[in-house]
């Protein structure tokens, strides 16, 4: 097993461990290890626990909330756990360090189905996506990572090996007793957690014990391996980009797609607002530009089982576009690889242009970074939440764009500060946007988790008693609070 000790050695020899996509600075640690199998991971965790050394778990380091960045202690990286195996039941067992890209290649080479979780960054790992319960565009139809995890192997604090399958242990009356863990009690929440939620531990009456560990952001142990299930591949996948020429048409189309009773198997329903359209036009690159009159963009992915179903979907969508005054002639898309690629490139162009813009500003102010919101509300309140988010950012005079997973009521506002004064304004805007989502019955984080960057937001969403209840669960599993 590779391991490095000494703060200076780590910052010189493995500085990549001290940086993820959150832009948080100041991470450091005294030691790091890359176990290559479960035995090595168990031994390392046992040793750290014996010596009282705090442990931060690291995966693909694509996280946006800084959960994988250490503040002292030791880092245990899952990146060398690369085993993938087919199981007799059609599922797959994957080591925690297998990336989503590696998993997808393995699946397409060996199996018929596909693995739906797709958090955009394909260097994210199986362990990291489970620890954050990652979502992606197709979550609208396929749910988040949780739905595809059938079993976990976890090394608990103290180095105890814990394996669990879905269906083995459930909470009843908010209580679950497990021979290794003891008795765990879920806190009583004032209101149910929103359906798409990555803030705090997963808490639902009657839930499976495995779900407590999914989305626990490296605070309840080291996920070393997972059993994952696949979805059947549909015959056709259609990608469409629709460009309404006014805001009213966009919201009308959005509403009718949400409420349709037709057999449109919509996988993804995403949006980019007028600020995104203007931003792309003013930062042209190697991607297709939106049509001249486009005000908003609605990105839609649907799937069909056969030619008849495909025809039915295309006709229905055409009618819906016309009914909402969106011109079908300016829409892009189809099921051919070239059309789907055009839309993929267009979708990826926005975060790339935002990052490029931030790096330009950084030449003058090196500490500048992007601020991103991750709140979600019930889809029926998305328009209200969008308008509120927008006015919070406009009131502060910040440059920003808003886009996201509209079908799940989930949007990301990206504020791009241009100087240190705007950094402070962006920080307060993000907090206000998060609080607005909670006020509307939603969550402060729907997919990125809270990590270290947004841990404080937990208090916007949960009462002191609720947070104490989550802490109590953690104290039973990790009495010395060494993880996370
Ligand atoms: C451009 C871009 C787009 C993104 N889009 C999406 C998106 O659409 N949806 C989405 O959900 N996310 C998205 N993300 C965020 C990120 O990709 C996900 O959070 C991803 O799940 C993190 O996986 P990782 O392996 O990189 O984990 P890391 O960043 O290494 O770690 C993330 C958290 O998981 C914990 N962890 C990691 N591995 C383990 C393990 N083996 N055991 C226990 N805990 C562990 C860490 O301690 C940390 O708290 C995006 C990120 C970028 C940069």
Q: Check residue 93 and give its pLDDT.
A: 98
Q: Output the pLDDT for position 351.
A: 87
CA distance 190 to 464: 11
The pLDDT of 1-23, averaged and rounded, is 94
Closest CA to 70 of 94, 50, 48: 48
pLDDT given for residue 355 in this prediction: 87
In this prediction, residue 41 carries a pLDDT of 98
Among the ranges given (83-97, 304-318, 442-456), the one the predictor scored with the smallest mean pLDDT: 304-318
pTM value > 0.85: yes
Element (H, E) at 1: none
**pLDDT, position 301:** 94
410 Cβ closer than 6 Å to some ligand 1 atom: no
pLDDT tens, residue by residue, 159-206: 999 999 999 999 999 999 999 999 999 999 999 999 999 999 999 999
| Segment 221-245 mean pLDDT | 96
Coil, strand or helix: which one is 143?
coil
Pairing between β-strand 92-95 and β-strand 149-156 as defined by DSSP bridges: unpaired
- At residue 284, does pLDDT exceed 90? no
Strands (E), 78-228: 84-86, 92-95, 149-156, 160-165, 175-178, 182-185, 222-228
Among 125, 131, 196, residue to substitute to test ligand 1 (most atoms within 8 Å of Cβ): 131
Average pLDDT over all residues of the chain: 95
What does the DSSP assignment read for 21-38? TT-----B-SEEEE-SSH
* Phi, psi angle pair for 403, to nearest 5°: -150, 175
Question: Does the C-beta of 59 come closer than 6 Å to ligand 1?
Answer: yes
Which range among 209-213, 317-321, 350-354 has the greatest average pLDDT? Answer: 209-213
- The conformational region for residue 483 under phi > 0 = left, psi -120 to 50 = alpha, else beta, is beta
Q: How confident is the model at residue 53 (pLDDT cuts 50, 70, 90)?
A: very high
In the predicted structure, residue 263 carries a pLDDT above the cut 80: no
Q: Where are the domains of the chain?
A: 2-77, 84-232, 236-457
88 Cα: distance to centroid of ligand 1 (angstroms): 29
136 CB near ligand 1 (under 6 Å): yes
Q: Is the CB of 134 under 6 A from ligand 1?
A: yes
Residue 23's pLDDT band, with cuts at 50, 70 and 90, is confident
For the stretch 120-153, pLDDT in tens is 889 999 999 999 999 988 999 999 999 999 999 9
Tell me if 2-77 shares its fold with 236-457: no
Whether the CB of 45 sits within 6 Å of ligand 1: no
Flag whether pLDDT at 260 surpasses 90. no
Q: What is the CATH number of domain 2-77?
A: 3.30.43.10
128 lines ligand 1 (CB under 6 A): yes
Q: Give the pLDDT of residue 388.
A: 98
Residue 261 pLDDT exceeds 80? no
Q: Is the CATH number of domain 236-457 3.40.462.10?
A: yes
Which pair of tokens denotes residue 481? Answer: 């609070």
Compute the average pLDDT of residues 423-442: 98
| Nearest one of 139, 115, 142, 138 to 226, comparing CA atoms | 115
The number of the ligand 1 atom at minimal distance from the alpha carbon of 145 is: 11
Measure CA 218 to chain center.
15
Q: Is 67 in the pocket of ligand 1 (CB under 6 A)?
A: yes
Cα of 58 from ligand 1 centre, angstroms: 9
Spacing, Cα 93 to ligand 1 middle (Å)? 19
Does residue 107 have a pLDDT over 90? Answer: yes
Q: Is the CB of 159 under 6 A from ligand 1?
A: no
Fold of 84-232: 3.30.465
């Amino acid at each position: 097993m590779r391991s490095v000790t000494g703060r200076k050695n780590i910052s010189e020899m493995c500085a990549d461990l001290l940086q993820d996509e959150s832009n948080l600075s100041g991470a450091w640690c005294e030691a790091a290890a890359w176990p290559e199998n479960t035995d090595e991971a168990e031994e390392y965790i046992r040793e750290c626990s014996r010596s009282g050394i705090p442990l931060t778990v690291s995966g693909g380091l694509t996280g946006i909330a800084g959960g994988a960045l250490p503040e002292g202690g030791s880092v245990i990286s899952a990146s060398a756990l690369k085993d993938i195996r087919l199981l007799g039941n059609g599922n797959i067992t994957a080591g925690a360090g297998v990336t989503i890209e590696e998993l997808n290649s393995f699946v397409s080479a060996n199996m018929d189905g596909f693995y739906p979780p797709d958090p955009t960054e394909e260097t994210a790992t199986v362990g990291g996506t489970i620890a954050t319960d990652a979502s992606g565009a197709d979550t609208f139809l396929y749910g988040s990572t949780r739905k595809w995890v059938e079993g976990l192997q976890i090394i608990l604090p103290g180095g105890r090996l814990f394996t669990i399958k879905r269906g083995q242990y459930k909470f009843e009356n908010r209580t679950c007793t497990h021979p290794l863990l003891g008795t765990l009690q879920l806190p009583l929440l004032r209101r149910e957690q929103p359906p798409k939620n990555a803030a705090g531990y997963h808490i639902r009456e009657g839930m499976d014990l495995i779900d407590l560990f999914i989305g626990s952001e490296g605070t309840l142990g080291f996920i070393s391996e997972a059993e994952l299930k696949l979805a059947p591949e549909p015959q056709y996948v259609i990608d469409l980009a629709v460009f309404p020429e006014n805001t009213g048409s966009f919201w009308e189309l959005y509403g009718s797609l949400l409420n349709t009773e037709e057999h449109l198997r919509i996988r993804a329903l995403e949006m980019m607002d007028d600020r995104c359209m203007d931003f792309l036009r003013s930062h042209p690159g190697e991607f297709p530009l939106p049509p001249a009159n486009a005000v908003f963009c609605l990105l839609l992915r649907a799937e069909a089982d056969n030619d008849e179903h495909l025809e039915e979907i295309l006709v229905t969508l055409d009618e819906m576009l016309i009914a909402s005054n969106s011109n079908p002639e300016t829409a892009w898309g189809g099921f051919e690889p070239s059309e789907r690629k055009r839309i993929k490139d267009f979708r990826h162009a926005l975060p790339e242009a935002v990052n490029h813009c931030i790096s330009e500003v950084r030449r003058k102010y090196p500490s500048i970074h992007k601020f991103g919101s991750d709140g979600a509300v019930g889809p029926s309140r998305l328009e209200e939440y969008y308008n509120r988010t927008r006015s919070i950012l406009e009131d502060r005079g910040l440059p920003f764009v808003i886009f996201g997973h509209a079908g799940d009521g989930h949007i990301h506002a990206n504020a791009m500060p241009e100087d240190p004064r705007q950094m402070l304004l962006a920080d307060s805007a993000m907090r206000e946007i998060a609080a607005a989502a909670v006020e509307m019955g939603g969550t402060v984080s729907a997919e990125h988790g809270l990590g270290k960057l947004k841990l404080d937001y937990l208090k916007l969403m949960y009462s002191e008693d609720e947070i104490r209840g989550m802490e109590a669960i953690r104290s039973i599993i990790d009495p010395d609070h060494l993880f996370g």
